[in-house]
């Protein structure tokens, strides 16, 4: 079993899409190990997205992620990272495949409804940013 991090972004929370997105994740066989609503500060968002520091979209992305509540989710299933990436679709909702979460719920490249870890290395770094070892246990 593999674990990954997903985040329902502020635009999707604001538009009351969290329940629909969670239902899609569960329908795809993901087990929710951890779930919470958070309010990131600009500094928190900058720390989380530090890998993108120096890129033209960094300031806009971090300001956006601090603009309202977000919902980090710790997910588990076989091949969780790749399966989540496929379910989310392309970063740009206009280029995302039909039926993906971003195609259905995304507004633009930034307000694309969800974040998902893009590799095992990212997942290992991102999960403890939001969840500590007391908050979840692996399920078999």
pLDDT means over runs of 10, the chain (140 residues): 96 97 97 96 94 91 96 96 96 94 94 94 93 70
- Domains of the chain (ranges; CATH) run 2-39+69-130 (3.30.70.141)
| pLDDT score for 26 | 97
Active-site residue (options: 13, 115, 116, 130)? 115
The CA distance from 105 to 99, in Å, is 10
User: What pTM was computed for the model?
Assistant: 0.91
| pLDDT score for 135 | 72
| pLDDT score for 133 | 72
115 is catalytic: yes
């Amino acid at each position: 079993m593999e674990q990954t991090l997903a985040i329902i972004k502020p635009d999707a929370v604001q538009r009351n899409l969290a329940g629909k997105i969670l239902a899609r994740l569960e329908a795809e066989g993901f087990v929710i190990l951890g779930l919470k609503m958070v309010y990131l500060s600009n500094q928190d968002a900058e720390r989380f997205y530090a890998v993108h520091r120096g890129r033209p979209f960094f300031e806009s992305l971090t300001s956006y992620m601090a603009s309202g509540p977000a919902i980090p989710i710790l997910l588990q299933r076989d091949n969780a990272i790749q399966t989540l990436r496929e379910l989310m679709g392309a970063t740009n909702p206009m280029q995302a495949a039909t039926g993906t979460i971003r195609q259905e719920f995304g507004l633009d490249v930034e307000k694309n409804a969800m974040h998902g870890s893009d590799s095992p290395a990212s997942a290992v770094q991102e999960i403890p940013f939001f969840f500590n070892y007391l908050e979840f246990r692996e399920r078999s």
